[in-house]
Structure 1
């Protein structure tokens, strides 16, 4: 891939389109997110390229000839998707529904309907200049809630095989935009079975109308049937495709979007010819809702995972806010209301079944949830504050003991529920602080501690997996006080009182920004594993955890970790932690190796000569740590780590810092595939 396609070389202008900006302004979050459009990348990251081949399914939105979005549930054996190039997603599979498409009124009267609209849309759907067709997709792993969103175009020459008669599909999708999404509202599921793709050929059904729509050669929609309504009623998730297509603006701004929406069963409701569902708090980017602000056409997909049934719906959406939202859906701040124009029910169309293992602990309680007596299967662990370590006036480490053992990998985050400290309760309006209406008092921080050693199953599990590490009965969070931050200030103002223990629910741990597997991938010519960590400010916390974890693992081949840490003053770099992380390891390694760790501090604060000398003397007492004054640039990066091009680079810190470092790495021509960054955006 040429250098101009690296994210470090993409101009960091405000890529939000007019619909997204309008909604961000309306909800008064624009200032918070306006610089975050640079999070989107114009290619698949290495993590994404490694992720998609391991999936049995993919959700994709396409457009029919009328420009209406439809969402399809693609399935296949693991490996049916792969990414041969960071700008390409290859899909090769054989789908259900291998029957010829019917375009005759007689067939419609007999109740036959087309197979999945995907086949028609890929070959006859709405086209742009040059015959290109837009698509949007979401790669999601239900076993661990990992989710990557992407979109792009299908070039005419990249349609290798689209055969409705056999269900065969082979396309090369050009990728224009990707982002890693957070795991909120996703149900954990387990697959029961995976049958051969060509064994199931169910009959598709539509609504009961017998009037032919001449544009689509399908029956005109007259309302959802009882069977279709039942699919919506039982669903704890839906997939929505939206569009804002304007060829006069950049590909990074215009296109399709396909994403997951989740909640407790019954969170989406049928009312006449409409489906309504709440828009729960998220990253506040409003990609889907922003598209709807500009183009009301949407597609929905509902799934009965236990029966293998799917319901595809296309229609026009409205966004309801405030009072209008609450009238349509009690206590919801935002609601999406879709007027249905067409639908397809496909009983038993999936080649496998999935069981619900755990509803998302983020799910708000809904009336239908209460009425049906459905209890969440996820029971949060109680986390009780046991120790507070003061590092600086605004940085402290909080250690929590857990009510039962937990598992996590070094570098992962913890999700905590501070809802009990929300003294405001429900309010319709908050003119003094409108953003507080979206505050669910759930917070996510990177864990700065590490589990104590590898578990007995470490040989079977990669060390990036929580299963590779011993269970832990405590964890630590190193948190910086945020001016005006409700929860960070609450924690920083705490003092330990055994008579009044501070206990909160630990919802879960998770994240893909973890300690890489440290063993060499080659046995022919083993080389040391080389890792460079680059952090800014409090972005050092995942690296503290990763190094603590690495120092507990003996490896067959040498592991060399170089850490570039940017901070304002030496105290902000947590020198006591650096002393621990670089201290010589005791114990006989035999024919194996302990990792080596070296740290270079870049202190950006103003220092007098006397202050600088005192800092240098303090740092000199810490083995393996050096100090420089000033900001990191590409020349200093190369001078500090001459073999940087041979290393895996891990990057974490505030967004401006990360953008700057990515720019430096681009100048040094470090391939994007070698750069891992924090992926979740809560």
Structure 2
């Protein structure tokens, strides 16, 4: 029967299962998607039948005898998968060294690693996994071509008579999978990568390559190591991943034609979008088609399987556990800025080092990937009393840099250098869109923004045993300032820069929290920070403005020397008015401070923009009016760093700015052999 005839016979009734309906209702999308279940077909389309033979890999979810999902990475030469019938998917391969084009070069190395790796649970699950009526086993898979982001999802059953060869010892696999449901998925969040045909590098054998999962203590029932938490090697695979594959399941007796099923699908983002938190893995659920197949399954059955891959090393990490869905503030408590989060409590894991017969190179991350929040940025305090922040003053520095002063509805505490998180959700008028080629990242924009506070609290609340890093050390504040650069296309930075103060209609937004660990070093440490060098690029100077403003209000028992190297395009970008403010005497300083000291501050400006001789002379004249500053023209490099701060190796170094700038400065510091323990950086990516 042709797929065209079947298309005409596809039922249009609402067949979402109970978990999907529950989540769609919860997120108020039920009416808009309830008739879209007809998009799912009970067969492989002609395009899908033509698609699968051209792949070297396939991702499949299966169930063990406890009903726990696992995800496996199947590989083979092109043609190892085929579709002899619109309701059948045939897989025939040998997993050790099957590979694709160029994979033969990897065969020897992969086979050697495979001999050390624990077996893939797929072999066990296909023959001994959970069975349903008639001995059939459920499966879910996703066919994905990384070279062009094409993705097709499918699921169905494996009949007992269709297990032709499943040999764990040899890796041989030959099965006929009956297809019950398919759908084509969009290319969002998929990284473009290609098979690397070069020789893999030999890697030294480690304990993780000896076949152990996470422990050497065996469970007599399953003869598998008892799970005792992810190892550092396993955690590292999660940390580097820009994608994961998740298998989930459901059972719903209310659906007459399908009472149970599985799903396996791809989730992607920037590297580090998934995080290990103790015995849990958490990752955001980004904006998609709003069908919520995976999340709907979790609402029905919390058991899931995850697969993480290190494509450059050929390592895989398989995890099974129980998932929870967190929404709104519950999500943001564990993952900043996320609208929804999947939180998986891990029950078991398998690390398979070098198990893939080929390696893959990353070519392009998806333009739809949201920026992963900094690891220094913690989630919100869900129990905190809401604070309203009302805009009270706007100070214009340049056409694209302004300082915004906010008054708070109740006093707040923060340390100099910390950030503020504000909720501009009330100004989100974009609405839902599935795809947005003109502005891909807007699809996940929750209008929550984080900026470093450029002001500082007015003094210390206690001088005894003061810890500058603790907000409790500083006096409460009823206002704070944010110095913000207009971002081309930025929804909120442009909103703020276009504002005019209107006393009749005050601009007020919720202040979610303050936080961050990039703060003034504590005065009493084993190595007193009596010499500090701060290096910033562009708008990355804002935490240093706050730190120096705070430091000038504090007194120490010893002199503190702060050398600030500030790189900017032009002088106005370096906020000369603020630098001049830091040159003024501290209010209240009269005569000698006895044994107490204020910090001494000097600033060296590196201006990278093009200046004519006349313009350079005018800049030098303006900088001469700032007693603590001097100016140089050109970019910072290791020679200029050393010339500016000859005793740099004796100093604590604080570094902040855009990522390319920080990477360059880190390289210069490495050339100068500045120990990493002396360098503190701000992750300026949120």
Q: Give the TM-score range, shorter chain.
A: 0.5 to 0.7
- Residue 398 of structure 2 corresponds to which residue in structure 1? 392
8 Å Cα contact 1:455-1:468 kept in structure 2? yes
Q: Could you tell me which residue of structure 2 aligns to residue 550 of structure 1?
A: 551
Tell me the residue number matched to 1:256.
Answer: 237
> Following TM superposition, by how much is the alpha carbon of 1:675 offset from its aligned partner in structure 2, in angstroms?
1.0
Distance in 2 of aligned mates of 1:555 and 1:633: 32
Question: Aligned to 1:66, which of 119, 126, 129?
Answer: 119
**Partners of 2:465 and 2:211 in 1: how far apart?**
42
- Structure 1 position 651, deviation (Å): 0.8
Contact 2:337 2:446 in 1 (8 A): no
Larger Rg: 2
Question: Of the candidates 132, 152, 155, which is equivalent to residue 206 of structure 2?
Answer: 132
- Aligned with residue 682 of structure 2, among 670, 678, 681: 678
Q: Which residue of 2 aligns with 1:478?
A: 483
- Paired residues for 1:234-273 under 5 Å: 256-257=237-238, 271-272=250-251
* CA distance, structure 1, for counterparts of residue 221 and residue 615 of structure 2: 82
- 2:270 paired residue number: 284
CA deviation after TM superposition for structure 1 residue 257, in Å: 2.1
In structure 1, how many angstroms separate the alpha carbons of the residues matched to 2:337 and 2:634? 42
Distance 1:357 1:342, change over 3 A: closer
Hey, what's the Cα distance between the residues in 2 that align with 1:528 and 1:419? 41
Which residue in 2 is equivalent to 1:446? 452
Following TM superposition, by how much is the alpha carbon of 1:408 offset from its aligned partner in structure 2, in angstroms? 0.9
Q: Is the 8 A contact 2:240 2:271 kept in 1?
A: no
Match of 1:580 in 2: 581
Counterpart check, 1:503 vs 2:508: yes
Count of matched residue positions in the alignment of Structure 1 and Structure 2: 416
Paired with 1:441 and 1:278, the residues of 2 have a C-alpha distance of 28
Gapped regions of structure 1 (runs ≥ 5): 1-17, 20-62, 70-127, 135-152, 157-161, 166-205, 219-238, 245-253, 261-267, 290-298, 304-311, 346-355, 369-374
**Counterpart in the other structure of 2:662:** 658
What displacement does 1:680 show? 6.2
Q: Distance in 1 between matches of 2:578 and 2:404?
A: 14
1:465 & 1:574 partners in 2: Cα distance? 28
How much has 1:129 moved relative to structure 2?
5.8
Range 413-422 or range 359-368, more displaced: 359-368
- How far has the Cα of 1:407 moved from its partner? 1.1
Say whether residues 1:329 and 2:317 are aligned partners: no
Counterpart mapping for 1:146-545 below 5 A: 213=222, 216=224, 256-257=237-238, 271-272=250-251, 284-285=270-271, 288=274, 322-323=288-289, 326-329=292-295, 338-339=304-305, 362=337, 364=339, 376-456=382-462, 459-460=464-465, 462-519=467-524, 521=526, 529-545=530-546
Report the counterpart of residue 175 of structure 2 in structure 1: none
The corresponding residue for 2:53 is: none
Counterpart check, 1:630 vs 2:638: no
Give the structure 1 partner of residue 605 of structure 2: 601
Aligned-pair distance for 1:255? 5.6
Report the Cα distance in structure 2 between the residues aligned to 1:212 and 1:154, rounded to whole angstroms. Answer: 21
**Greater than 4 Å deviation, 4+ residue runs:** 153-156, 162-165, 239-244, 272-281, 286-289, 299-303, 339-345, 356-363, 365-368
Deviation at 1:379, TM superposition (A): 3.7
- Identify the residue that residue 165 of structure 2 maps to in structure 1: none
Normalising by structure 2, we get a TM-score of 0.52
- In structure 1, what is the Cα distance between the partners aligned to 2:401 and 2:543? 15
For the 8 Å contact 1:634–1:668, the answer to whether it is kept is yes
How far does residue 336 in structure 1 lie from its aligned partner after superposition?
A: 11
SS at match of 2:602: strand
Q: Taking structure 1 as reference, are residues 258 and 604 closer, same or farther at Cα in structure 2, changes over 3 Å only?
A: closer
- For the 8 Å contact 2:540–2:684, the answer to whether it is kept is no
Contact 1:447 1:477 in 2 (8 A): yes
Cα 1:569–1:508, aligned 2, differ >3 Å: closer, same or farther?
same
Q: Measure the CA separation in 1 of the matches of 2:610 and 2:645.
A: 25
Distance in 1 between residues matched to 2:601 and 2:617, nearest whole Å: 24
The verdict on how the C-alpha distance between 1:269 and 1:450 changes in structure 2, with shifts beyond 3 A counting, is: farther
Gap change, CA 1:438 and 1:360, over 3 Å in 2: closer
More moved, 481-490 vs 269-278: 269-278
Query: Take 2:526 and 2:554, find their aligned partners in 1: how far apart are those partners?
Result: 17
- Are the aligned partners of 1:276 and 1:336 in contact in 2 as well (CA < 8 Å)? no
Residue 275 of structure 1 deviates from its aligned partner by: 10
TM-score, normalising length: structure 1: 0.53
- Any gaps of 5 or more consecutive residues in structure 2? 1-55, 58-115, 123-201, 242-246, 252-259, 307-317, 323-330, 344-380
Please report how far the alpha carbon of residue 590 of structure 1 lies from its aligned counterpart in structure 2 after TM superposition. 1.6
| TM superposition shift of 1:329 | 3.3
Contact 2:530 2:558 in 1 (8 A): yes
* Separation of aligned partners in 2, 1:411 and 1:321: 32
State whether structure 2 residue 646 is matched by structure 1 residue 642: yes
1:555-574 equivalent positions in 2, closer than 5 A: 555-574=556-575
Specify the alignment match of 1:159 in structure 2. Answer: none
Q: 1:618 — aligned with what?
A: 622
Provide the secondary structure at the position in 2 that maps to 1:544.
helix
**Aligned CA distance change for structure 1 residues 366 and 573 (closer, same or farther; 3 Å):** closer
| Contact persistence 2:287–2:443 (CA under 8 A) | no
Deviations 1:27-65 (A, max 9, x none): xxxxxxxxxxxxxxxxxxxxxxxxxxxxxxxxxxxx993
Aligned residues of 1:243 and 1:257 also touching (Cα < 8 A): no
Alignment of 1:50-61 (within 5 A): none
| Cα separation, partners in 2 of 1:417 and 1:614, compared to 1, 3 Å | same
C-alpha distance 320-596 of structure 1, shift in aligned 2 (>3 A): closer
What secondary structure, in the 3-state scheme, does the structure 2 residue paired with 1:387 have? strand
Task: Find the aligned partners of 1:243 and 1:556 in 2 and give their Cα distance.
Answer: 45
Does structure 1 conserve the Cα–Cα contact (< 8 Å) formed by 2:420 and 2:511? Answer: yes
CA shift, 1:440, in A, is: 1.3
How far off its partner does 1:320 sit? 10
1:582–1:277 Cα change, 3 Å: farther
Residues 243, 667 of structure 1: CA spacing in aligned structure 2 closer, same or farther, 3 A cutoff?
closer
**1:416 aligned counterpart, secondary structure:** strand
